Amino acid sequence: MEDAEGAEGAAGRHADGGRTDAATEAFIAHRNLLFTVAYEMLGSAADAEDVLQETWMRWAGVDLGTVRDQRAYLVRITTRQSLTRLRTLGRRKESYVGAWLPEPLLTAPDVAEDAELADSVSMAMLLVLETLAPTERAVFVLREVFDLGYDEIAEAVDKSPAAVRQIAHRARAHVAARRPRGIVSRTETQDALDAFQRAAETGDLQSLLDLLAPEVVFLGDGGGVKKAVLRPVVGADKVARLLAAGMGTLAAASMRPAQVNGYPALVLRFDDAIDTVVAVRIDDGLITGLYAVRNPEKLSHMERETTLRR
């Protein structure tokens, strides 16, 4: 995953005299793991960074002599902070304008090479995780993605190991019924996005329509700030009409591929500013989900990351 630079900066500022102490070393060593746990639980890079800041503040005050397993202790703090924030986010989402989509996250090539990790942070999978209750989501992420033991998870979520086993079983069944059917290859995803880009640039929708599943769903997230469909558009015919209506606008955008949430995606820019990130879900070789994130608040983290890489 991407470096949690804000958290590292906080750690550095709290180190005595600028020197890296034992607490800072441990935090930085597990930083990427902690960020990924928080992001998968929250679906927001900005909130995940805030959780890491909160984790550091608590970790900095811990007597390391009393800590048997530093990694487990840090994961426990991060999980508890994420659960608290997740419940707050749930209340926020109740008043959110239109569909809520996860915040796009630029990911490094090594994430894409780890198929299971890429699948766990994909837009489609994060949307499935959104259907879980907060504790179920935490247990699923810690067990299925990071393979933590039940005892360790129990400490993180303040449940008994027996209860965690039951929650894990329930969450696993829930996710299995809704997740994409098998791990999708990057080639399939890239082919779908190439067809989308060709359609936008040439006005010829046929190559894209050929890839739409009959039950395809289009979701747009403008957050009430940017124009976007307020409800899911379902069905190949309706999605095709929606795309056809927007072809003129799409043709005027600068489209560039990017590695987002572990898979290829398209980044649309106007006047050199990110306007939309388009991701897709593929099942059995066809597009079953099209996700367009336009909310500027959700694109600000990606804009900063892109600027830093230039």
Supply the pLDDT for residue 108.
76
Tell me which residues of the chain have a pLDDT lower than 50: 2-8, 10-20
What does the chain look like in DSSP terms, one character per residue?
----HHHHHHHHHHSGGG---HHHHHHHHTHHHHHHHHHHHHS-HHHHHHHHHHHHHHHTTS-GGG-S-HHHHHHHHHHHHHHHHHHHHHHHHHT-SS---PPP-B--HHHHHSHHHHHHHSHHHHHHHTTS-HHHHHHHIIIIIT---HHHHHHHHT--HHHHHHHHHHHHHHHHTTS-SSPPPHHHHHHHHHHHHHHHHH---HHHHTTEEEEEEEEEE-TTTS---SS-EESHHHHHHHHHHTHHHHHTSEEEEEEETTEEEEEEEETTEEEEEEEEEEETTEEEEEEEE--HHHHHHHHHHHHHH-
- For the entire predicted model, the pTM comes to 0.86
pLDDT reported for residue 209: 87
